[in-house]
């Protein structure tokens, strides 16, 4: 009977997800908002004092790992090193400044607004949140503006491709350090100094093992798929390879996420027969997981919808938008990019499946003090999606079919 209830809940979530997606397409807005809200509503439905929809912890853990592996692999395969041009350099600069400013400003803003204190554990958790919020996913806007050719749109798309592996990898690195600091008991500050050096030594080993596992599986995959293609077996081999890479890396003491990222970069930048069809299948499989993950994120994370929390979280989000504008301004201070374009890039900070997968994975783990980070992440996802929806509706005021990025110095030279 338990198995039947479990399957019923799973089928119900998928059905709700499909309905939400169809409604969002009719309204021409992102389906993520509907999926998360649907999950939040499901989490508050109770029968005889018990939450109506429940899943075993092992199932949730397995889904989180599978989604993590497939999303990281799919995003990294789309980053082409040979296409790393001048525009990509701008996107890389924006990614770097946004990440750095978030780590410096958003970390301490969170601590100040929520009155956490400046203990090492609180600092590390706030830093984890800051790195996670450095990710962007403008998929909704780009899909609606797909016919508009504009370097600004290309820029934010490239930015999301660059920052996705980073915002998936960095939180788990910080999490490893937190676990090291708190595992031996005693003062956290003392553990930080005692464990910092061994941690970085272990981190380098995990780095090497992760990259090594990704390259090893990548070479095998390349040899097998270079000349042969099977409509049935090749897509299945691709999914299996990504999962095996994660499993092998973790069992060798390496970083599984880094290993999958390495495999994805390897696969995306070498010749493989029918690569386009394989990448399309990977995306379809990832999209199927998206529906489940977004609903489960809303279901599992029980956000306190009090006036105090909403006010504080929105205040922090306004600080976050200020940081985003500062990053855009610094990145393009030497380029003739208009104020409207800067506002467009500032407001287009929608959080997507990568952030959802990480927060879903963190929610399964029992980490001391992580509840506030999970609640804030979910609220930031909602805020960013709502703002991106308005940006989409008013996009004609920001985006035009013309080149928007020109180097001021070159322009002056041409005038001279």
Least confident of 102-106, 206-210, 370-374: 206-210
Domains of the chain, start order: 2-415 (1.20.1530.20)
Angle 315-173-32 from CA coordinates, rounded to 5°: 50
C-alpha dist (Å) from residue 36 to 96, 297, 349, 356, 390 = 29, 7, 17, 10, 18
* 232-237 contacts, C-beta under 8 A, 24 or more apart: 234/274, 234/278, 235/277, 235/278, 235/281, 235/282, 235/285
Per-residue model confidence as pLDDT tens digits over 322-352: 999 999 999 888 776 778 888 888 888 888 8
Region 314-321: what's the mean pLDDT?
96
Q: Which two tokens stand for residue 327?
A: 């990053």
More confident residue, 373 or 241: 373
Does the predicted TM-score (pTM) go above 0.75?
yes
Which pLDDT does position 411 carry in this prediction? 46
Would residue 79 be called left, alpha or beta, if left means φ above 0 and alpha means ψ between -120 and 50 degrees? beta
Q: Which residues have C-beta within 8 Å of that of residue 48, sequence separation ≥ 6? A: none
Q: Please tell me the distance from the alpha carbon of residue 13 to that of residue 179, in angstroms, as a whole number.
A: 33
State the pLDDT confidence band at 107, using cuts at 50, 70 and 90: very high
Q: Please tell me the distance from the alpha carbon of residue 81 to that of residue 10, in angstroms, as a whole number.
A: 39
3-state DSSP assignment of residue 337: coil
Least confident of 83-97, 116-130, 135-149, 214-228: 135-149
Which pLDDT does position 404 carry in this prediction? 45
State the pLDDT confidence band at 138, using cuts at 50, 70 and 90: low
**% of the chain residues with pLDDT over 90:** 15
More confident residue, 4 or 383: 383
Which pLDDT does position 350 carry in this prediction? 86
Q: Please tell me the distance from the alpha carbon of residue 70 to that of residue 363, in angstroms, as a whole number.
A: 19
**% of the chain residues with pLDDT over 70:** 76
Q: Which stretch, 66-70, 170-174, 249-253, 309-313, has highest mean pLDDT?
A: 309-313
3-state DSSP assignment of residue 149: coil
Q: Please tell me the distance from the alpha carbon of residue 137 to that of residue 193, in angstroms, as a whole number.
A: 36
- The answer to whether residue 190 scores a pLDDT higher than 60 is no
- The answer to whether residue 405 scores a pLDDT higher than 60 is no
Count CA atoms closer than 13 A to 307's CA, side-chain side: 0
Region 283-291: what's the mean pLDDT?
73
Only one residue has tokens 């990509």, namely 88
State the pLDDT confidence band at 216, using cuts at 50, 70 and 90: confident
The closest alpha carbon to 32, from 292, 293, 294, 283, belongs to 294
Angle 237-241-247 from CA coordinates, rounded to 5°: 145
What does pLDDT average to over the chain? 78
Which pLDDT does position 113 carry in this prediction? 93
More confident residue, 97 or 208: 97
Q: Which residues pair with 255 in a beta bridge?
A: none
| Number of other residues whose CB lies within 10 A of the CB of residue 85 | 10
The closest alpha carbon to 222, from 254, 262, 193, belongs to 262
| Number of other residues whose CB lies within 10 A of the CB of residue 74 | 24
Which pLDDT does position 409 carry in this prediction? 45
Only one residue has tokens 């495999």, namely 263
- The answer to whether residue 193 scores a pLDDT higher than 70 is no
Residue 354 near residue 168 (C-beta atoms within 8 A): yes
Which pLDDT does position 96 carry in this prediction? 92
Q: Which residues pair with 46 in a beta bridge?
A: 51
Angle 348-371-105 from CA coordinates, rounded to 5°: 45
Residue 368 near residue 120 (C-beta atoms within 8 A): no
- The answer to whether residue 182 scores a pLDDT higher than 70 is no
């Amino acid at each position: 009977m338990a198995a039947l209830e479990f399957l019923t809940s799973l089928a119900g979530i998928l059905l709700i997800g499909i309905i939400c997606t169809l409604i969002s397409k009719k309204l021409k807005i992102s389906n993520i908002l509907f999926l998360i809200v649907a999950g939040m509503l499901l989490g508050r439905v109770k029968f005889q004092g018990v939450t109506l929809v429940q899943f075993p912890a092992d199932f949730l853990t397995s889904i989180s790992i599978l989604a993590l592996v497939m999303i990281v692999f799919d995003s990294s395969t789309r980053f082409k090193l040979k296409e790393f041009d001048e525009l990509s350099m701008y996107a890389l600069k924006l990614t770097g400044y946004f990440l750095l400013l978030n780590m410096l400003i958003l970390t301490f803003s969170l601590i100040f607004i929520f009155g956490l204190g400046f203990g090492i554990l609180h600092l590390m958790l706030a830093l984890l949140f800051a790195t996670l919020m450095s990710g962007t996913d403008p998929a909704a806007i780009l899909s609606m503006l797909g016919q508009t050719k504009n370097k600004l749109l290309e820029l934010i798309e490239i930015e999301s491709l660059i920052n996705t592996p980073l915002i998936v990898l960095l939180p788990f690195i910080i999490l490893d350090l937190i676990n090291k600091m708190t595992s031996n008991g005693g003062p956290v500050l003392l553990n930080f100094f005692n464990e910092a050096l061994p941690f970085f030594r272990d981190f380098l080993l995990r780095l090497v093992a992760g990259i090594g596992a990704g390259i090893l599986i990548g070479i095998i995959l390349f040899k097998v798929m270079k000349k042969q293609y099977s409509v049935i077996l090749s897509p299945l081999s691709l999914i299996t390879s990504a999962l095996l890479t994660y499993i092998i890396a973790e069992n060798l003491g390496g970083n599984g996420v880094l290993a999958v990222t390495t495999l994805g970069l390897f696969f995306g930048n070498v010749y493989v027969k029918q690569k386009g069809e394989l990448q399309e299948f990977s995306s379809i499989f990832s999209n199927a997981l998206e529906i489940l993950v977004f609903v489960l994120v809303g279901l599992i994370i029980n956000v306190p919808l009090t006036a105090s929390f909403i006010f504080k979280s929105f205040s922090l989000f306004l600080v976050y938008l200020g940081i985003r504008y500062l990053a855009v301004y610094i990145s393009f201070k030497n380029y003739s990019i208009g104020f409207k374009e800067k506002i467009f890039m500032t407001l287009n900070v929608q959080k997507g499946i990568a952030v959802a997968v990480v927060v879903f994975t963190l929610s399964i783990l029992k980490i001391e003090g992580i509840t506030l980070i999970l609640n804030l992440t979910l609220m930031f996802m909602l805020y960013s999606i709502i703002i991106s929806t308005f940006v989409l509706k008013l996009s004609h005021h920001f985006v035009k079919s013309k080149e928007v990025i020109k180097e001021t110095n070159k322009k002056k030279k041409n005038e001279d």
